[in-house]
A = this chain, B = another copy of it.
């Protein structure tokens, strides 16, 4: 697993090389949410660095970033550990997430551009599609929805904090996969949120988002 040659195409087509640190941040996040790195696991810098084909320098910088985002915790002279969330932590995270995303949904309903709403409609279609076929492919659009709502809120701060929280929540969800029934429910709830935003109804958008998040938390803690 080396990432030295992972180049990336910049907006204008020029080939640009992302700093190793940035790439490492991405890989680490993936390793955490995919369960390769479980809660409480110690992060061995030397091992991980050679695994990624980079040196410890950029890796340590990446770890700091993850630390500020709340993914890992530090112990004096013991290094970084993948954060393990207590049920209390999860509750607290959802409490904040509700604040953030309800506001975001409401703002999105007010501020979304036409093309934003258009993208929402595409999500409706995609969601519909998933609903009619299988539910295993649900997660991608799940995150897409929440990310899109945050973006359409038009408030970058809200977006930044919201996505951080959203990704952190995955930490809790890694182990406890949800049932197919709940997945279907969630998708229909998404539909409600989307249509409220598309209809430009802030109140309803906020209400639906709140309901959605509360049910999600219930499922998670059950």
Task: List the interface of chain A (C-beta within 8 A of B).
Answer: 16, 19, 21, 57, 60-62, 64-65, 67-70, 76, 89, 92-93, 95-96, 99-100, 103, 155-158, 160-161, 165
Contact = CB atoms under 8 A, between A and B. Distances in A.
27 contacts: A57-B57, A57-B60, A61-B61, A61-B64, A62-B64, A64-B65, A64-B68, A65-B65, A65-B67, A65-B68, A67-B68, A68-B69, A70-B160, A89-B156, A92-B155, A92-B157, A92-B158, A95-B103, A95-B155, A95-B157, A95-B158, A96-B100, A96-B155, A96-B157, A96-B158, A99-B100, A161-B161
A76 B160 contact: no
This chain: how many copies in the complex?
Answer: 2
Contacts of A67: 65, 68
Contacts of A19: 76
A197 B70 CA distance: 29
Nearest to A91: B155
B99 A64 contact: no
